[in-house]
Amino acid sequence: MHLDSALKDCMEEMRIGKEESEQKLHDDVFANTQYWEKLNLELEHLEDVKKITKLEAEYQRLRGLVPKKLSGPAALAQIKLVDADYGETRSKRERNFSSSPVKLQVST
């Protein structure tokens, strides 16, 4: 009888140890998953910032070229027109991009 009780106690301790190990493993996996997801979001954000910075620099470069080719009062009107067109085109592209699925073509 005494051995049966000791065996039950040992089995109970093993069960508890197994549950604790499984919970710790689950917690570690969850924490690591959150960590990698956060790093991935930060990386995507940094890539977006780089793209935006590059586009803004190109826009400013192109915008700087416009006054050099135009002179007089028409220049200001033309710059405003180009600026407005750029904004509209960009808005349309963003709307179209967000509403249409991305299609990749593989050239063979």
Q: Does a structural domain hold residue 99?
A: no
Q: What's the token pair of residue 11? A: 């089995």
The answer to whether residue 56 is domain-embedded is yes
Residue numbers of the domain that contains 19: 8-89
Could you report the per-residue pLDDT of 34-71, keeping only the tens digit for each? 999 999 999 989 999 999 999 999 998 888 876 666 56
Residue 64 one-letter amino acid: G
**pLDDT band (50, 70, 90) for residue 26:** very high
Inside any domain, residue 28: yes
The answer as to whether 3 is a domain residue is: no
**Domain-embedded: residue 102:** no
Give the total number of structural domains in the chain.
1
C-alpha distances (whole Å) from 76 to each of 17, 43, 58, 62 are 77, 40, 20, 15
Model pLDDT for residues 72-101, shown as the tens digit of each residue: 677 677 777 777 777 776 666 666 655 555
CB 51 within 8 A of CB 39: no
The answer to the question of residue 103 being in a domain is no
